[in-house]
Chains A and B, each alone.
Chain A
């Protein structure tokens, strides 16, 4: 057996209880191997718990451990960094807890905040920077305006109020209240980004969140305005389009803008 084959077999055995061990291993080798097998699982479940501490409180420890173990079987870590072990865990939770969108949404927030924590540093555009960048803009430039958002910014629609859920899970006392938190009457947007060195998030209206998601994917300001008009009608959309741009700027979400190419 080559070293490559031996290592593949060793690693498969760490991931599966029923994997066969080498026939020439005696009790001492088998006992030693169990230490590696237990450490593999414990380390990775600990890593997920560190990334998703509030999600773990919301689900309860037993359910969290079972979900984490399931995730690691379905998605064994491939990256050199342990931070990536939790990638896709929100999707795993959505599959495991299809009737508990709060679990999935909270996990999404925690994952996005971890990503924002180590995102590339940048200086957000301020009002004077926007004025300078758009000084020569004509109408068509504004239609074609595209925004590069600060690294780490993420947005999605949610059915639970993350701003209410988050503080309840800051300690053990709020767990029952967190689990009883009702759905919001309508979906809203949740935006995660980094303020200085600190990841944070806020809740915004659904229409603004959809416009933000559209522009974050590379669409123009004109396309975002059309989206708003379709959702809200021109009367509401026109002032909102201007307000939201000012709000994104004030919150430090915009890294740079470009007009017509």
Chain B
């Protein structure tokens, strides 16, 4: 019989409730749109590391955007899966940024990026073993203690799986959430890509997660192929929109957004694409209410 552990508490700091809305990633080519006009978004997501700097234009821009919008901090260098532990200097800088910006939350990925000496600057895959689970839980707990808030952990896209894995990715992610009390950032495109690459069912993945822990949903485009690659360089495909509808029928309210990191179109085009997500969410909500 599987032993289900209760969700960890947070001692002196508490979790947070759902936030429902639609957002986009803040990208440099769109700075004038955000600084000079009004953009109809409920929140913007920024890459934490781009703003973990001493001063200058990046922080000036972020301060100005923060006056107009709710912001979430999305990191790529926490490296919670690193067997060599978390980088305390990195955490200190991230904490300082969070205190300045007061984000809705801070997120990063279920992955590792560095060894004791070198950094790959890529979101590298983990073997889903008991040892790796212990490492991730310890690192996430340390990060949450330093940042004094629960994190959101995002499911990654991956291009290889390890023969030594002892559990599925969703079982692993669920265990991390249970043991650390972290929330989930569900990247629907990443589920779609990894399901294709590793031959599992995307629906089984979603059904296997503690969906009440989902606070944010990512959407993005990918490059199809024998091994699909999470390139964020094109529009969201039909299969991912269908998977979003399925996901929203299972989860509660969440912050939904599109990530675009390459071949970035004008902001108006991304807002049009985000309108598709709004329509899908409205449709799913009406169906749920009707049922």
* Chain A residues packing against B (C-beta within 8 Å): 2-4, 6-8, 10-11, 14-15, 24-25, 28-29, 31-33, 35-36, 39-40, 43-44, 47, 76-82, 85, 116-122, 151, 194, 197-198
Contact A14 B57 (CB under 8 A): no
Interface assignment of B197: CB less than 8 Å from any CB of chain A: yes
Task: Tell me which residues from 86 to 103 in chain B have a Cβ below 8 Å from any Cβ of chain A.
Answer: 87, 89-90
Is B84 part of the binding interface, using a Cβ–Cβ cutoff of 8 Å? yes
Offer 16 A-B interface pairs, CB within 8 angstroms, sorted by A.
A4-B116, A7-B124, A11-B118, A29-B162, A31-B160, A35-B229, A36-B120, A36-B124, A39-B122, A77-B121, A81-B49, A81-B52, A118-B55, A118-B56, A119-B54, A197-B57
CB distance from A69 to the nearest CB of B (A): 15
Known: A3-B83, A35-B159, A78-B119. A117 touches B56 (CB 8 A): yes
Q: Which residues of A contact B79 (CB under 8 A)?
A: 80
For the complex of A and B, 7 pairs with smallest distance between CB atoms: A32-B160, A121-B55, A118-B53, A4-B83, A32-B159, A120-B54, A3-B83
Residues of B within 8 A of A79 (CB): 119
CB-CB nearest in chain B for A3: B83
Cβ of B112 under 8 Å from chain A: yes
Chain A residues in 8 Å Cβ range of B146? none
CB of B56 within 8 A of CB of A82, answer no
* 8 A Cβ contacts from B163-207 to A: 163-164, 197
Contacts of B229 in A (CB 8 A): 35
Do the beta carbons of B159 and A6 come within 8 Å of each other? no
Asked if residues A82 and B84 are in contact (CB atoms below 8 Å), the reply is no
Give Cα A78–Cα B120 distance, bound, in whole angstroms: 8
> Which residue of chain B has the shortest Cβ distance to A79 in the bound complex?
B119
A40 to B135, CA, bound (A): 24
CB distance from A229 to the nearest CB of B (A): 37
